Structures are given as structure tokens and as C-alpha cells.
């Protein structure tokens, strides 16, 4: 073993080889490296929240350890989704274009009267549809990724945060593609860009955080009851018409109350306004709402981390 290590390091044992401290150092490298050190973890029947410092320390450690696995899960899912598709990544572009074309046609033929918008109606619908697609993907991606990882997670003790990071990576990938589509639509219809567009990635990240928080809350329940995933799809389709995506926010009661109670409305509306008009109506409310979303996401992560071991135990029984 010493001879092999010496040759790998450029030493020549047949000429005398290393001795003393140098040989001791090589043996240490051969027998133990930082990457090969096993991390000690003690399991206890007590609730993890009885030791909050240890709980958060282990959570951060698992997030760090799951980065490589999350990256592999991300590329695996992207590859599987578009591998056997003729149009490939064009499927990211096709749904918002079809949705925009339908509502523009209905509006022009006076079949659907949506009222006046501050920007060209095709751009209004396109931006709203793209942002809504990002939100729906952020809600559904955690459940989809977790379901695909359940057989592995039952057999081996892999970081529970890996599917979450992979899901958020997929949504970020979709968001980047959607931004290119949005800029192309604005350019085609002559909508000017403003320097405030630099804030749009942050605002989209807030939208993704909101959707991911909802998805994390639904993951444990959806793992036990598949009806949750199907019901979520139906509710998201219904919520599409309860969100000012293809129409301006109504001013008359009770429709205005329904839209205002929708948590997606302020984020989507503010992001679209900054994209198309360079400003938002109420920046202070947006900031406070963003802080509230981050707090909800934080508690959703805690709930997810506490619930998943129990869910996996039931699924593996």
C-alpha cells in the first residue's frame, strides 16, 4: 500500500522511499480523508423540536449534503420530461401562446368583455399566463419529485431535502425560459423595458417561494392520498379564473374581495406591472407580503422535515 501511494505521489520507494513524518502523513491520507469520514448521527425517540439547535444544525447540514443529489435529480427529471418529445422544450412555449391566442380572440370578438388594460391585452394575458405557469409548477413540482423518490427514500437514508431542492431547480429553469418568452412578447408588441426589470427575478423568486411553501405542505398528505395531487390540479385550474390573469382586477364587491383574498394576486400583479410598466402600485405592501411568504416557507420546511420520516415509515410498512 505504501509503495502504491508513494508512486501516486511521485516518490520512489525503491530508492529509499519516504521515511519518518512523511511516511506517516501518507498513511494518514491513505487511511482517512475528509470526504471519507463518516458523520455520526444519534437518533432519539424524542421529538426533534425538543432540541431546536440540533434540529436546525442537522437541517442545514442535510441541505448542504443534498446539493449533488438534488442536481442529479433535477437533470434526470428534465431529461425524462423532454427526452421522448418531438417538440422538446417548445412545450414550455406552446401552452402560454395557445392560452393567449384564445383569450385575445374571445376579447376581440366581444364574446368575453374583460375591460381596459394599461398595456396591450395580448401582453397582459401572456405575462399573466407565464407567471401563473411558474406558480402552478412550483406547487406541483415538490409532490411530483417526492413521489418519484419515494422508492429510493424508503430503502436508503438519503437527505429529505434533495427532492425539494431539485423541484425548486426545475421551477427556476422554467422561470428563466419564461422570462425569455415574456421579453420576446414585449418586444413584439412594442412595450418598453425599464431599469426596474432588474427586480423581476427577485419578484419571481417570491412567487416560487409561495408556490413551494404550498407544495411542501401538501407533500406529506399527498404521499398518503393520491387524491390530493389530483384535487390540487383541479383547484389550480379553478384558481386561474379567480386570479387577475386574463382580466384586470375587478373593483366591484364581492368580486374584488375574492381577488384580494387570493394570495397569488399581489405578487403576480406587482411582477407584471414592473415588467410592463416599470413600477408597482404599492411597493411597501409587496415587501411585507414577501416577508410573510418567506416565514410561511420556513415553517413549511420544518413541517416537511418532521412529517417525512413518519410518512416514509407508513409507506414502507
Instruction: Note the pLDDT tens digit of each residue in 156-169.
Output: 777 788 888 888 88
pLDDT at 108 over 90: no
Instruction: Note the pLDDT tens digit of each residue in 221-280.
Output: 988 888 898 899 999 999 998 888 888 887 777 777 877 788 898 899 999 999 888 888
Considering the entire predicted model, what is its pTM? 0.79
Give percent above pLDDT 70 in the chain.
Answer: 79
Report which of residues 112 and 37 the model is more confident about: 112
pLDDT, the chain, mean: 79
Name which of 29-33, 84-88, 145-149, 245-249 the model is least confident about: 29-33
Cα-Cα end-to-end distance for the chain: 45
Question: How confident is the model over 24-45, as a mean pLDDT?
Answer: 49
Question: How confident is the model over 125-132, as a mean pLDDT?
Answer: 92
Instruction: Note the pLDDT tens digit of each residue in 183-213.
Output: 888 888 888 888 888 889 999 999 999 999 9
Task: Give the confidence band of 86 by pLDDT, cuts at 50, 70, 90.
Answer: low
Task: Give the confidence band of 22 by pLDDT, cuts at 50, 70, 90.
Answer: very low
Amino acid at each position: 500500500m505504501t509503495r502504491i501511494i508513494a508512486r501516486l505521489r511521485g516518490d520512489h520507494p525503491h530508492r529509499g522511499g519516504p521515511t519518518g513524518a512523511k511516511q506517516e502523513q501518507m498513511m494518514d491520507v491513505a487511511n482517512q480523508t475528509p470526504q471519507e469520514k463518516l458523520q455520526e448521527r444519534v437518533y432519539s425517540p424524542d421529538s426533534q423540536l425538543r432540541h431546536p439547535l440540533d434540529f436546525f444544525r442537522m437541517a442545514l447540514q442535510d441541505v448542504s449534503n443534498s446539493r449533488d443529489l438534488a442536481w442529479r435529480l433535477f437533470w434526470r427529471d428534465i431529461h425524462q420530461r423532454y427526452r421522448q418529445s418531438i417538440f422538446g422544450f417548445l412545450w414550455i412555449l406552446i401552452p402560454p401562446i395557445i392560452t393567449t391566442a384564445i383569450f385575445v380572440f374571445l376579447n376581440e370578438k366581444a364574446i368575453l368583455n374583460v375591460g381596459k388594460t394599461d398595456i396591450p391585452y395580448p401582453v397582459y394575458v401572456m405575462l399573466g399566463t407565464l407567471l401563473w405557469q411558474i406558480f402552478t409548477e412550483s406547487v406541483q413540482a415538490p409532490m411530483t419529485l417526492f413521489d418519484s423518490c419515494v422508492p429510493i427514500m424508503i430503502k436508503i437514508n438519503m437527505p429529505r431535502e434533495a427532492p425539494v431542492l431539485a423541484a425548486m431547480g426545475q421551477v427556476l429553469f422554467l422561470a428563466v425560459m419564461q422570462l425569455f418568452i415574456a421579453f420576446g412578447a414585449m418586444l413584439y408588441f412594442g412595450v418598453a423595458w425599464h431599469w426596474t426589470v432588474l427586480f423581476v427575478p427577485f419578484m419571481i423568486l417570491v412567487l416560487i417561494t409561495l408556490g413551494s411553501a404550498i407544495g411542501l405542505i401538501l407533500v406529506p398528505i399527498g404521499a398518503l392520498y393520491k387524491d390530493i395531487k389530483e384535487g390540487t390540479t383541479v383547484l389550480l385550474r379553478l384558481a386561474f379564473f379567480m386570479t387577475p390573469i386574463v382580466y384586470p382586477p375587478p373593483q366591484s364587491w364581492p368580486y374584488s374581495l375574492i381577488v384580494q383574498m387570493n394570495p397569488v394576486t399581489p405578487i403576480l400583479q406587482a411582477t407584471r406591472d414592473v415588467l410592463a410598466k416599470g413600477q408597482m402600485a404599492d411597493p411597501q405592501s409587496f415587501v411585507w407580503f414577501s416577508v410573510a411568504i418567506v416565514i410561511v416557507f420556513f415553517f413549511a420546511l420544518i413541517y416537511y422535515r418532521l412529517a417525512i420520516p413518519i410518512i416514509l415509515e407508513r409507506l414502507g410498512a
